[in-house]
Structure 1
Amino acid sequence: MPTALVTGAAGFIGYHLCARLLSEGWRVVGIDALTDYYDPELKRARLALLKARPDFEIIEARIEEEGRLLSLMQTHQPELVVHLAAQAGVRHSIDAPRSYMHANLEGTFELLEAARAVPPRHMLLASTSSVYGANTKIPYAETDRADHPLSFYAATKKAMEAMAHSYAHLYDLPMTMFRFFTVYGPWGRPDMALFKFTRGILEGLPIDIYNHGQMRRDFTYIDDLIEGVIRLSSTVPGQGAVVTGDSLSSVAPFRVVNVGNGAPVQLLDFVTAIETALDQSADRNMMEMQPGDVLETWADTSLLRQLVGELPKTQLAEGVGEFVRWYRGYYGT
């Protein structure tokens, strides 16, 4: 039975990825600090479902703790490493930048050092569409420059990409850096728009809509994203042909891949989809643009398709409906 190490295993994406790996016959070792950035009980509820599986093990610890990841790698010798642990959130990075430095930079350094000592077959590391920052060319392609991040969160993720590339080059470590676009679905994060809007509408509270709704996001349903990650896990940089528009490094087994839906949605249409799923109207509080935000995200997914084939694309109404059903069931509303 092959072993996978997943950092951030109690998180939204981490939970879904661990569940899928377990169903695919992997033994999964997870690590998560269960920080209080959002409700730790939601994280524990995710973990409770994973712990019911016999081939899952969780270590509650911070990845930036010196030597912790090295010890895990030495003990479990994982073939696959998926690095999802991070301090997330664009707006929070304005208020608490130090937490991003510790988790995103120091934590990634600890992982890279551990991989140098105990090399896995393939490492996949989570970046974000936020690294495209001030870019005006859309859709965003992996080969576009991403030199102007608009938030410290995005800056730390871009720094992670550079750190990972250097280790891939120096130590011949195959790495895929995937740039996620706005992910949503059941068990989602409470700081994300879908969760906040759903909760606000059900509680009869105003929902804050930034830039008066004049924003577009490439919303990506969680199951579609996980399918992409699973397929990419067996697509090892440097072990296949170079494809058109490839981001494969010329000096390292390192590739950057967008993982998104490839079809941006107007924010107000997103709100309407939530209202429809809830059968309840929102009290819309129109606000100005927030620092660190971008007007639009849109993934060019042509590289992803060439590498792993066509992926499922869950329609927005269906995906929002699945989230609302989960939310009502979990919170009993």
Structure 2
Amino acid sequence: MIRITVPATSANVGVGYDTLGLALTLFAHFDIEAAEELTISGCPAAYQGPDNLVYSSMCTAWKTWGVAQQGARIHIASEVPFARGLGSSSTCVVAGVLGAAALAGLKLSAAELLRVATLIEGHPDNVAPALLGSLVCSFTGADGTVQSLSYTVHPDLNFVAMIPSYEVKTEDARRVVPQEIALATGVAQIGRAAGMIRGLETGDEALLRAANHDLLHEPYRQALIPEYSAVRDICQQTNMATLWISGSGPSLLAVSRNKLVAQGCASAVRDTFPAFAVHVLGCDTKGARVETIDGVHVGSECAGAANSTTI
């Protein structure tokens, strides 16, 4: 039996719409072993069949690699909330791809694992940081290949994840975003995205605050999160550096270099919104990892496998 651990992720990182993703120290754990039949536990009964995203990802990966499909026993123990903008589906996809490779006895590069995970997920902004860890920028080159670039996040940064009890459907969050923008808007966004990356690398709170003014999606998605304005006010009052919508929402992520400031913000949000789940997190630098249940390492961590990973 193998255990696969995959970090939660925050896609977009404010101004990096559909390009930036950040791995966080909130984890989903998957225990997987070969079996004649399929057995899945640890998730609602509705997801315990062959269309479970972990197992269906395994099947897609096996088919892609020309490996015969097999049964499996899968147990899921996830800290990552479902459909809240923290990459829960990506944890399942990455676990499925890694599980498929492990059960088939394949030793594959991070680039190949990421290629297949991206094929399954449809885009790399969540699966790339889930697999590689840290901060990742992904884009499609002129030749159609996807490239993922990894960056080191300053270790002193704290991320306060504020998670409402309701869902925002991805299709609704996509629907409210304009499909066309002015040239000046695009130019401004490019500069701010570069500033956000640099701010996360250096831990420069002033730069993070200046860079994180999104023009593409957050002004429109805020309306889908009724508590957004109140949470933003709390973050400003407690001196957090900045705040963004995680993925398509409704989770929100605030940043501070000061651990006490981050804890104070988390406490204030809990007091104001008792239904929220609130966590003070760091950036996960290891990415997805595979080990046996007794702790003997059987797979390499994907973090650092490639500063520039071409798929």
TM-score using structure 2 length: 0.31
Higher helix share: 1
TM-score using structure 1 length: 0.29
